[in-house]
Structure 1
Amino acid sequence: MEKVMLSALLAVLLGLILLLVGLFLGMSFYIGREKVSPFECGFDPIGSSRVPFSLRFFLLAVIFVVFDVEIVLLFPVVMMVGSSYMLVGSYLALLIFLMLLFGGVIHEWREGSLEWEM
């Protein structure tokens, strides 16, 4: 039990140290007008640098991330299918998970988020 507590404490401390190092390295020490203006080869910027982009592109990117994460969640289960370690409850949980994912795809399809034409 002590090893588990020690490894958990070490993981938390390592995470905090990495967080603080990232925050320190990411700090901007000097923010001025020239720092925040876009650089266009020495010329004065033309127009706004904050050009709006299509919300459909953002939605498509979010859908990709969601379904990419579900592939990562499914990979260990696929490797276990057919082994003696897979119990009936595991098959039921896999079936429910796949039904939820299929329901999400159907919802996105009906909503029109999977249309590729802009």
Structure 2
Amino acid sequence: MVNEWLPVFIFMIIMSVVVFVILAGTAFIGPKRPNPVKLSPYECGVEPVGEPRTRFSIKFYMIAMLFIIFDLEVIFFYPWAVVFKRFLSGSSFILIEMLIFVGILLVGYVYAWKKGALEWQ
């Protein structure tokens, strides 16, 4: 059994040595002359003005959370679509199951819509 895993262990040791050499090399070879310009945050070529920690509107977080929730739910459609034709020949249970899932998804969407989570005002 050790013979089967020997190449994996050798590979892990070699990769660990390579990572250590690269990290140590950059620490020893890299320039070490800090100044205020190098220590300031870089903002895509724009001069940093004001406090870097500004607050975002809660609407951004609401849209992000809704996207994550509905995106994860839509991911469940893919395995269903892959096996749909195979299971549909026996019974329509898989179709009814997905219609219930879509119904729950739509109820969540309508709830978010009615609560005003999708309005940008």
What band does the TM-score fall into relative to the shorter chain? Answer: 0.5 to 0.7
Secondary structure of 1:85's counterpart equals: helix
RMSD over equivalenced CA pairs, Å: 3.4
C-alpha contact (below 8 Å) 2:63/2:117 kept by paired residues:
yes
1:111 aligns with 2:115: yes
The size of the alignment, in residue pairs, is 88
| 1:111 aligned partner, one-letter code | K
One-letter amino acid of the structure 2 residue matched with residue 68 of structure 1 = D
Does the 8 A contact of 2:59 with 2:117 survive in 1? yes
What residue in structure 2 maps to residue 97 of structure 1? Answer: 101
Task: After TM superposition, give the deviation of residue 37 of structure 1 in Å.
Answer: 6.0
Runs of 4+ in 1 over 4 A off after TM superposition: 34-37
Larger Rg: 2
Secondary structure (helix, strand or coil) at the match of 2:50 reads coil
Give the one of 53, 58, 81 matched to 1:50.
53
Shift of 1:67: 1.5
Matched AA of 1:61: A
Report the TM-score, using the length of structure 2 for normalisation: 0.54
Aligned twin of 1:85? 87
- 1:28 aligns with none
The percentage of aligned residue pairs carrying the same residue is: 32
The 5 Å alignment of 1:58-69 reads 58-69=61-72
Structure 1 gaps of 5+ residues are 1-24, 26-33
Deviation at 1:69, TM superposition (A): 1.6
